Amino acid sequence: MSEISLSTVEPENRERPVILKTEATRAIEADAEIQALSHDELIEGIQRLRKERDAVILAHNYEIGPIQDIADFVGDSLQLSQQAAATNASRIVFCGVYFMAETAAILSPDKQVLIPDNEAGCSLAAMATAAEVRRWREKHPGAIIVAYVNTSAEVKAEVDYCCTSSNAVKVVASIPADKEILFLPDFFLGLYIQRMTGRKLHLWMGECHVHAGIRPDDIHTMWKKYPEADLVLHPECGCVSQCMLSIADGDLPAEKTHVLSTGGMVQYAKNSTAKATLVGTEVGMLHRMRKENPNTEFIPLKRDAICEYMKTITIPKLYRSLRDLTYEVRVPEPTATRARAAIERMMQHL
């Protein structure tokens, strides 16, 4: 491993947060009013309540179609942070995972931030704790720590910079060349950044269970089936570094392969003239791509690449969130102030 990175660290905990039946799901099942409403009535109720509550609804690109369709804004992590920081609404209902809602709360401390299911976690964010990051810093005094935004607010409070998949390369490239850099928690994104910047990093060996499962074999199998297709890949995928090596060796066509954030994939879809495109990321992404460009056939690279945390946000839960103001996301001081400094450095590299 030392050939490709300066050093690696294994997370202490690789257990994914379990999603069985969440408290929000149980509350919906026991809610006589919600149970009596049809889907259309719930949608009407959301339209009424969003005005009464002066709420803006933000949704990530992996949310289920009906949530994306009713949101005021759908985007990637960076775009959603920008929207959260800029909104004039008194409330933000965040349809995404918990760390994203926390980031919104940090950026808009005067707004009420709600998440319709507060057990919408992230397997990647769960792989690094603040205590582990402090110990890592102690081993590398003087180093700069860059954390992917898929981390808890406590971890963000320990680091120098945050970044998302759409600006990770820019953030790392902006750091003076003589500085040692520690990058966490996504190992595959770290490898991608190294390749793109030519910088060697110390890497945390965390991974997202959805993206780590997208392997080079999936590309080879699907490209055999759809030889004309373009390929878009999220940099968290377990196949990205192999894929980039294959491009460098001429085994995969560079002009047809694009490594993109989810927001980059939307942009790609808008401009694409390809007949077909293989999409290597969570399958919720296809909803937006198909909507943006009905002329291209968008095909999931892996049909079971599903993030159960994103999918836990549903229309009945969104209705309840607006009606009952559940679940409020707050980041206590001084964690919020320290985390905000790292997030604001991320926002300088758009």
Residues near ligand 13P (CB under 6 A): 61, 76-77, 150, 164-165, 208, 236, 261-262
Residue 241's binding partner among ligand 13P, ligand SF4, none (Cβ under 5 to 8 angstroms by kind) is none
Residue 204 is a binding residue for ligand SF4 (CB under 6 A): no
In the list ligand 13P, ligand SF4, none, the entry touching 120 (Cβ below 5 to 8 angstroms by class) is none
The stretch near ligand SF4 (CB under 6 A) out of 40-48, 119-127, 155-163, 190-198 is 119-127
Q: Sketch the per residue contact string, 88 through 117, with ligand SF4: x for CB under 6 A, - otherwise.
A: ---------x--------------------
The item of ligand SF4, ligand 13P, none sharing an interface with residue 123, based on CB under 5 to 8 Å by kind, is ligand SF4
How far out from the chain centre does Cα 258 lie? 18
With 0-12 / 13-18 / 19 or more C-beta atoms within 10 angstroms meaning exposed / middle / buried, residue 56 is: buried
Q: Which of 131-139, 151-159, 205-213, 338-346 is the region at the interface with ligand SF4 (rule: CB under 6 A)?
A: 205-213
Sign of CA pseudo-dihedral 46, 50, 53, 55: positive
CA 269, CA 298: separation in Å to the nearest integer? 9
CB closer to ligand 13P, 129 vs 262: 262
If one asks whether residue 123 binds ligand SF4 (CB under 6 A), the answer comes out as yes
Query: Is 285 within 8 Å of 61 (Cβ atoms)?
Result: yes
Residue type for position 93: V
- Contact of residue 165 among ligand SF4, ligand 13P, none (CB under 5-8 Å per partner type): ligand 13P
Among ligand SF4, ligand 13P, none, the one that 118 touches (CB under a kind-dependent 5 to 8 A) is none
Place of tokens 């720590």: 145
Question: Distance between CA atoms of 257 and 247, rounded to whole angstroms?
Answer: 9
- Amino acid identity at 195: R
Q: How far is the CB of 88 from ligand 13P (least distance, A)?
A: 24
Beta-sheet strands, E only, within 150-282? 161-163, 181-184, 202-204, 230-233, 257-259, 276-280
Binder among 136, 309, 319, 327 for ligand SF4 (CB under 6 A): 309
- What are the tokens at 126? 């769960």
CA–CA dist 130, 4 (Å, integer): 26
Residues of this chain that interact with ligand SF4 (CB under 6 A) are: 97, 122-124, 150, 208, 210-211, 282, 307, 309-310
